[in-house]
Chains A and B, each alone.
Chain A
Amino acid sequence: MAAAELAMLSLRIKPGSPFLTYVGIKTHKLKPGDLNIEQSLFVSGVPLNFGVEALQAVFSCFGDISQVILHHNKRSGMIVFQEPATAIKKALGAAASRSIVEWSLPQEMEEPVGVKAWVQRHKALRPGNAILQKQLDEWIDNFEAEEEKKEKQRRTNMAEDGWTVVVRNKGRARTTEADGMTIKSGGVASAAAEEAKAKAAKQAESREDFYRFQQRDKRRNELMDLRKQFDLDRKKIAELRQTRNFKPY
């Protein structure tokens, strides 16, 4: 499916200004099977300070809009029309015929902008200790509830298959009964287990040159490694010679 090219739609967002603003639009082609959004208009190059409402206002002249989605970098978005076929055609037509959409950006007087907005954001991150505490508590509660739910789901899933869930945990062995299900946990210290495993691996390793063929193989491999290393060195030296400057003056 060849992607459509962007067409440029001219906007006049400052009344009376000789300068125009341009946004790129194209039909958003869907992947087959993605049926949530019927057919929509992809907008890129959204002007600065354009929000969802502004996009809605500008593009409503092509048809009724059911949904506007803005990317979080606020530079591109998607517009879903109620009657996609006609509206999109109209919009592309307007772009091709260079007609200008006039719509002025409303001035919100009370909202701080620029540096003042940054200061506000900085303050918002520090809402006061009590409020922050509340926010954190809420988040942690939600998180724990979520986790609980997930865990429960997992266990019930497994229990439904008729398994006994065994959990390895540090400390002494424990058997708990919950919701009519037996859980065995503990009994193996993970550190001890790991140590034993490492020891076993080491023992296996130390027997490497027991047989004659092993020694032979080892020697041969070493030789091969050396040769490989030698070739690598040669390559490296050739490369060095090309890239570096050895002029001592």
Chain B
Amino acid sequence: MPTEFDDDDVESEEETRISDEEAIPDGSVGTNTFLPKPSVSSVQDFLRSSDTSESSVLQMEVREVLRETRVEYGNEPGVDRFISKLTKDIQGMPEQQVHGKDAAGFISALGQDPEEVSLKFKPPSKVTVIGSYALHTVARPEVVVDVAVEIPEDCLFKKAHLNYRYHSRRALYLSTIAKHLGSLSPLYSSCQITSMQDDPTRPTLTIHLPSMSEKSSNIDIANEVPSTSNEVPSTSGRNTSDSLPSTLGHKKRLKGVNNRKKDVETKVEPKPYKPSDYLSPSGFTVKVIPVISPSTFVVSKLSPEHNSVRWVTQLSSSLGSSKQKPKKNGPTVGVEEEKEESNVLPTPQYNTKVLQDMLYLPHAAYLSSALSSFPNLSDGILLLKTWARQRALLGKVDAFDGHTLTMLMVHLAKQGKMSPVMSPLQMLRVALHALSDTVSGLPKGLGMARDEHNSSAISAACSAHPPSVSVFRHHFDVVFVDFTGWLNLTAGMTKSALAQVVSAAKQTLQILQSSVDVEAAFAASLLFRSSPATMFDYHWRIRVPVADLEPGEHSSPKCGNRPYLRDVESKVEDLVKRALSDRATLVRVMAAKLLSGQGRSCLEAGLPVLEGEEGGNLHGSSSVHTLTVTVMANVDATLALRLADVGPAADDTKASAAFRAFWGAKSELRRFQDGKISEAVVWDCAPVDRHKIPDRIVQYAAGAHLPPGSSVACCSGHLDRVLTQRPPGSGSYGSEPCLDPNTGISAFRMMEAAVDKLGKQLRSVEGAALKVLGVQPISTAARQTCPYFPLPHPLAGGAAAAGALSGRLPRCLEPVEVLVQLEASGRWPDDPQAFSKTKAALGLQLAGLIETGFGYKTVASEDSVDVLMDGFAFRLLLYSTRDEAMLVKEQALMASSITRNVWEAPSLHPIPSMQLSNNPLVRSWHHGLVSSATGVNPSLAPAIRVAKRWVGTQMLSNHIAEEAVELLVVAAAASLSTSLPPPGSMLTGFMRFLELLSHHPWSTRPMVVDPEHQLSPQERRQISKTFDALRVDKHQKMPALFLCTSKDLESKHWTATNPTPDALQQLQARAFRTLRLLRPLIETGPHHSAAPHTTIAQQKRVREEDDEEERSLWMSAFCLPSDSGAMDVILHLRVDSLPQACRALPVARVGSLTSDQMGGAFIRLNDGKPGFNAPKSMKRSRLESAYQPVDLLTDIDRSPNPPPDKRARVFLRAFPEKLAEGRGPNQLVPELLVGFDPVPMLVEALKERFDHLAAFCADYHGGTHVGIKWKPAAFLPSFVQATTAHTALPCTLSLSAESKKISCVPNLVQVLSDMLEIGEGIIIDITCVA
């Protein structure tokens, strides 16, 4: 279309139009008068971005992301200066003889005698910048400059590549440099030994330089004597919080440089720089990597099928697998390495690492030449790196590093799959395709084309041909061979990591291509960062005891082909994958990282310790070593709950023997319904425990196949406690034991059966004016998303009524709402009010027919009919085809009344907001949406229950509608918002909800919930248009949480008034806090005391304590934090007046907290009677640290309050026992209250009167308190207004002469006493938190 702009046709038309314009002097016909003519460049811009607005938005977004990640290379003189200084310093090192004892621990851990190892140190033959900084492909925020230091060939001998001999020399070389630099200048004082890619055998030197702002703020600290010792600071720091102490000390030393440089270095350097000249604006890290030249060792000896570590032999291992295990007898330098043992195994991982060191420089040269011929490839690389980092795939031991990704992009470019005209996003797409394509991509194995020019150094040294790809495939899980043909770039990658890469790439491609909502897709794929806790559904920490690393023996090598832990990880991965079979879509073993704290003098102490290797050698003599392996899995939500794993048929002897071998006694022969007889494993369990089946499977498999003493820690059951019910009518927590967790489910089944029965009976009713066509339950209980299921009530009829009426009988019943569809009729009245009255009359008629026909008790009101049957109360809401039209009419009426109100008196008529959401039609739409989503994914319903309970425990029930919570959980499960597969467990569903709530930019983007993909692109555009219009328009009130569905394009149904922006902020803050609390619990587990325990009893006790602590840590996510000043005033409610008091959650106790220590300072206002008592007592106690919950329950138990006045006293929790005994059921039934809940009524009443003063917070699911948070703005003295006069306390009584206005402050005593009066009979006490 835009090409027409240059068309001849148009031009000629322009000529003809001139006359028109002349005819009409100020005519508005010409285009020029409407809009200024766009400039040529902008039109070109426009043409390039094609004609849809989406692609231009996308391009802009990519541009912005690139701008955020790119480093300005020309603008970093500090880095360049530092590098040149470093180069000069290293090259200026003197030759020296270095002895092995400098890295004694390291060398002996590698199986060599430190006394025998020595190195003739010579300055490096080359010092160059390599890696991403040299290629200009650094992705911020972490700026790392890799500096390669080439060890001269004559420092090493030809056979040094064997048995880690090269590694010990390499470490010695590095430690010499580290010592030299440390003594040379305090500028290097932050240098420390870390490891390459978490490989403990290959140390590197890391020098971190803080950012300029960090530095300059402290530059004027008083002079201090510089410490010239060459000790290296203890903590490394990638993230700033860790590095804080080290940088502080470092700055002091830097100060010293200043002085020293003046008198020493001025002679050496003609132009001295200040230390601050070596800094960059954002700080950077320099890594010094020792490398060797390609000709140092014979390349062919390092191909994957060769053995280079002689003690890696075919011996039985304790794990009973075919995996290699280090042999105990240490190697000794001598003859034995010369003659190859017949049973040695290849050491592909070891060889690769040596090769890697040899090929660093050729690779760097190759990449820089490739990138210089293809300059915009670097943008694509940046984008790919960003993508990988957001999915936690970058920088991991077993996943990618930046180098591999760069190589991949170059490989694709050389293959011709990318062209220089491609946009970065297109390049990303190509790369993702290559990562996920099983036919020709990474899963199949990639091999770069051989580049003769760049690999000439190697071919010169070795005439042999590189091994074939099949050799690589045989020895590695993932294959990506570089251009020399010798090195596998993805050697460290595991199968599980590859599986994660493939699924992530596929998912991203899919949402980028779906183009339903481009902006959301882009945000999900590049801006959203996921953590393992939310990415995976099940999380296990498997502790494996390993007894074979016996101490005492001097040369017990921990490393064979690779660190031993890696072997265990790989074994566990296979085991879990096999055990879960098709339940799991992805099993991922998280490779352990190096413990950061161990970096200091690791070379002298021994090998750096990996995270999973605690215990063991720390205690010197202990012979049992525990390795911890973290396994996570994504499961198919439906298959994960399957009760049986069906194995091979009985007649397939070979397969069934294998099956039996794996499952052991658990496997049994079963006959299935289709007549098949097969081996099967059955996981019998109660319905509520089905989500724990994967846990049980992993536990069983670990017990059967891992060494005895292995244990599995699981996470999925920790939230169950939140949902267990206690007997109805019971009081505060702990007074009565919990009900059997299955009660809820069985009650639900009973309810379902009762609904079915009622439906059949209603449809069969004869004699009604309009026939009943359909019956559909629409309450949360029916879609299993209510936190607690309604339990059958003995007085509400059914089988239970026949039993003895013993125990506490709850007074209130929660109704189950049922939509009753009536047949169509043309005789409905047109007036909305008359319509509803007619409907009520029909309902009444129906009630009468039910009562006489089936003998159920019915209670009718104008809105609905309550039917008590089979222990439940059903609330019938009538629905006719005319409802929809009436809804529209009512909406129009409401809209007009609102606008009228705006003109007349804005504050006196609150907008009837709930009307719309109470409409049965709207609720039935919602029910359909949610129940279809929970039907597809069975993990969603429990997640919704937990989410609702969480909202309640944060005392925000009244600030967000339950339906909105449901929609949010459904939205969080959709892949469009996260680019992750749908959650497969309750825990993940809940975590995703928290993540969505806390991270979605609510003020700038609407949230569209459309699990069924019903919205058309036009409608989506319409939504964003409405949103933008509302956002700009200051006069219109806009929902803070803009939540749209296909039936609700303007977020009118559930979030029109609630939450308010303030409440949303609270919600987000609390969600963030809970996330921060739960994430480490899920990912790494709670930190247990590491002290050794001698006796078994002691161990058991400690374990119990640990369990208890873990449980309370989990529960603390469901408590209010005490530090945030969450509440100003707490209204304590009378338990007897609360129908749902039995649902209050226990208060978690963290550490040694008692009720006396809790709560801050209380000012007790009065003793429960309304009146004007002066503040009586004041208690003060210290406030505990951040995560201690407000202890609300104990406080109320401490001081029993007198019962309220008789005229306000009601028993809503349960019928008083005496009364229940005295009267028969017939007298009690009329006293049952269906759907009566005083807490929302109280909150509404308070809000109606004091909304301008305070925000009220309540938990509608069993909360025993109402919190009040004052609005600070209302407490400033202000002039009295008619709308707030009822709470005003005049500061001055007389009208002042000039202003004629009285300034007022809120009359707090009056307000609090009014509150007591409003809530008489339910509020028993008020405490003010000082």
* Neighbouring B residues of A184 by C-beta, 8 Å: none
| A233 nearest in chain B by CB position | B53
Given A7-B1295, A223-B4, A248-B69, A126 and B35 contact (CB-CB distance below 8 Å): no
Given A14-B1172, A118-B1241, A237 and B60 contact (CB-CB distance below 8 Å): yes
A188 beta carbon closer than 8 Å to chain B = no
Q: Which of B1292-1330 contact A (CB under 8 A)?
A: 1293-1295, 1300-1302, 1304, 1307, 1309-1310, 1314, 1317-1322
B1273 beta carbon closer than 8 Å to chain A = no
Question: Which of A6, A110, A143, A228 interacts with B1285 by CB under 8 Å?
Answer: A6
B1322, A115: Cβ atoms closer than 8 Å: yes
Give Cα distance in the complex from A7 to B1300, angstroms: 9
* Neighbouring A residues of B888 by C-beta, 8 Å: none
B526 beta carbon closer than 8 Å to chain A = yes
A116, B1209: Cβ atoms closer than 8 Å: yes
A227, B68: Cβ atoms closer than 8 Å: no
B13, A216: Cβ atoms closer than 8 Å: yes
Give Cα distance in the complex from A35 to B917, angstroms: 42
A119, B46: Cβ atoms closer than 8 Å: no
A104-130 to B contact mask, C-beta < 8 Å, 1/0 = 000001111111111100110110010
Question: Which of B51, B60, B527, B862 interacts with A248 by CB under 8 Å?
Answer: B527
B1282, A220: Cβ atoms closer than 8 Å: no
Interface hit among A40-48, A82-90, A173-181, A203-211: A40-48
Given A17-B1172, A112-B1208, A98 and B53 contact (CB-CB distance below 8 Å): no
A128 to chain B, nearest CB (A): 8
Give Cα distance in the complex from A227 to B30, angstroms: 14
Give Cα distance in the complex from A247 to B140, angstroms: 10
B228 beta carbon closer than 8 Å to chain A = no
Give Cα distance in the complex from A71 to B57, angstroms: 53
B861, A8: Cβ atoms closer than 8 Å: no
B908, A73: Cβ atoms closer than 8 Å: yes
Give Cα distance in the complex from A75 to B1251, angstroms: 14
A219 beta carbon closer than 8 Å to chain B = yes
| A119 nearest in chain B by CB position | B1210
* Neighbouring B residues of A246 by C-beta, 8 Å: 61, 64-65, 67-68, 527
Interface hit among A21-29, A59-67, A152-160: A21-29
| A133 nearest in chain B by CB position | B844
* Neighbouring A residues of B1301 by C-beta, 8 Å: 5
B1207 beta carbon closer than 8 Å to chain A = yes
Give Cα distance in the complex from A244 to B1205, angstroms: 57
A6, B526: Cβ atoms closer than 8 Å: no
B1289, A22: Cβ atoms closer than 8 Å: yes
Question: Which of A24, A115, A119, A122 interacts with B1282 by CB under 8 Å?
Answer: A24
* Neighbouring A residues of B922 by C-beta, 8 Å: none
A240, B1236: Cβ atoms closer than 8 Å: no
B908, A112: Cβ atoms closer than 8 Å: no
B53, A248: Cβ atoms closer than 8 Å: no
Given A5-B1300, A76-B1282, A115 and B1321 contact (CB-CB distance below 8 Å): yes
Question: Which of B1204, B1207, B1293, B1302 interacts with A111 by CB under 8 Å?
Answer: B1207
* Neighbouring B residues of A10 by C-beta, 8 Å: 1293
B1290 beta carbon closer than 8 Å to chain A = yes
B35, A224: Cβ atoms closer than 8 Å: yes
* Neighbouring B residues of A190 by C-beta, 8 Å: none
A102 beta carbon closer than 8 Å to chain B = no
* Neighbouring B residues of A229 by C-beta, 8 Å: 53
B191 to chain A, nearest CB (A): 25
A237, B46: Cβ atoms closer than 8 Å: no
Identify which of A114, A117, A133, A231 gathers the most chain B CB atoms within 10 Å of its CB: A114
Given A17-B1172, A132-B860, A231-B35, A248 and B529 contact (CB-CB distance below 8 Å): yes
Give Cα distance in the complex from A125 to B875, angstroms: 14
* Neighbouring A residues of B1028 by C-beta, 8 Å: 236
Give Cα distance in the complex from A244 to B833, angstroms: 47
A114, B1241: Cβ atoms closer than 8 Å: no
Question: Which of A5, A21, A226 interacts with B2 by CB under 8 Å?
Answer: A226
B60, A240: Cβ atoms closer than 8 Å: yes
B1232-1253 to A contact mask, C-beta < 8 Å, 1/0 = 0100101001000000110000
* Neighbouring A residues of B1320 by C-beta, 8 Å: 113-115
B38 beta carbon closer than 8 Å to chain A = yes
Question: Which of B837, B862, B1205, B1290 interacts with A22 by CB under 8 Å?
Answer: B1290
Given A45-B1288, A113-B1207, A122 and B1293 contact (CB-CB distance below 8 Å): no
B893-925 to A contact mask, C-beta < 8 Å, 1/0 = 000000000000000100000000000000000
A230 beta carbon closer than 8 Å to chain B = yes
* Neighbouring A residues of B1290 by C-beta, 8 Å: 8, 22
B440 to chain A, nearest CB (A): 29
Give Cα distance in the complex from A230 to B1288, angstroms: 54
B824-851 to A contact mask, C-beta < 8 Å, 1/0 = 0000000101100110110010011001
Give Cα distance in the complex from A33 to B861, angstroms: 44
* Neighbouring A residues of B844 by C-beta, 8 Å: 129, 132-133, 136
A36 beta carbon closer than 8 Å to chain B = no
Give Cα distance in the complex from A142 to B861, angstroms: 20
B53, A244: Cβ atoms closer than 8 Å: no
Q: Which of A143-186 contact B (CB under 8 A)?
A: 143
B1318, A48: Cβ atoms closer than 8 Å: yes
* Neighbouring B residues of A129 by C-beta, 8 Å: 844, 847-848, 851, 858-860
* Neighbouring A residues of B386 by C-beta, 8 Å: 248
B723 to chain A, nearest CB (A): 28
B589 beta carbon closer than 8 Å to chain A = no
* Neighbouring A residues of B866 by C-beta, 8 Å: 126
| B1205 nearest in chain A by CB position | A113
| A237 nearest in chain B by CB position | B60
B460 beta carbon closer than 8 Å to chain A = no
* Neighbouring A residues of B529 by C-beta, 8 Å: 248-249
Give Cα distance in the complex from A47 to B1086, angstroms: 55
B1001 beta carbon closer than 8 Å to chain A = yes
A44, B1282: Cβ atoms closer than 8 Å: yes
Give Cα distance in the complex from A146 to B177, angstroms: 102
| A239 nearest in chain B by CB position | B1028
A139, B837: Cβ atoms closer than 8 Å: yes
A19, B1207: Cβ atoms closer than 8 Å: no
* Neighbouring A residues of B840 by C-beta, 8 Å: 132, 136
A19, B1310: Cβ atoms closer than 8 Å: yes
Give Cα distance in the complex from A36 to B1309, angstroms: 39
A241, B1207: Cβ atoms closer than 8 Å: no
Give Cα distance in the complex from A126 to B1309, angstroms: 37
B757 beta carbon closer than 8 Å to chain A = no
Q: Which of B681-739 contact A (CB under 8 A)?
A: none
Identify the 5 closest CB pairs spanning chains A and B, nearest first.
A45-B1285, A114-B1320, A114-B1208, A115-B1321, A114-B1321
| 11 other A-B residue contacts (CB within 8 Å) besides A21-B1310, A47-B1314, A126-B860 | A8-B1280, A96-B1295, A116-B1210, A119-B1210, A132-B844, A140-B838, A230-B46, A233-B57, A236-B57, A246-B527, A248-B65
Interface residues of B (CB under 8 A from A): 1-2, 4-5, 9-10, 13, 31, 34-35, 38, 42, 46, 51, 53, 56-57, 60-61, 64-65, 67-69, 140-141, 386, 389-390, 526-527, 529, 831, 833-834, 837-838, 840-841, 844, 847-848, 851, 858-862, 866, 908, 1001, 1004, 1028, 1137, 1171-1172, 1204-1205, 1207-1210, 1212, 1233, 1236, 1238, 1241, 1248-1249, 1279-1290, 1293-1295, 1300-1302, 1304, 1307, 1309-1310, 1314, 1317-1322
User: Could you write out 23 A-B pairs with CB less than 8 Å apart?
Assistant: A5-B1279, A5-B1302, A6-B1285, A47-B1314, A73-B1248, A95-B1293, A114-B1321, A116-B1210, A116-B1321, A117-B1208, A118-B1241, A129-B847, A136-B844, A140-B834, A223-B10, A224-B31, A227-B38, A233-B56, A237-B60, A241-B64, A244-B1004, A245-B1001, A248-B526
Interface residues of A (CB under 8 A from B): 5-8, 10, 14, 17-19, 21-24, 42, 44-49, 71, 73, 75-76, 95-96, 98, 109-119, 122-123, 125-126, 129, 132-133, 136-137, 139-140, 143, 216, 219-220, 222-224, 226-234, 236-237, 240-241, 243-249
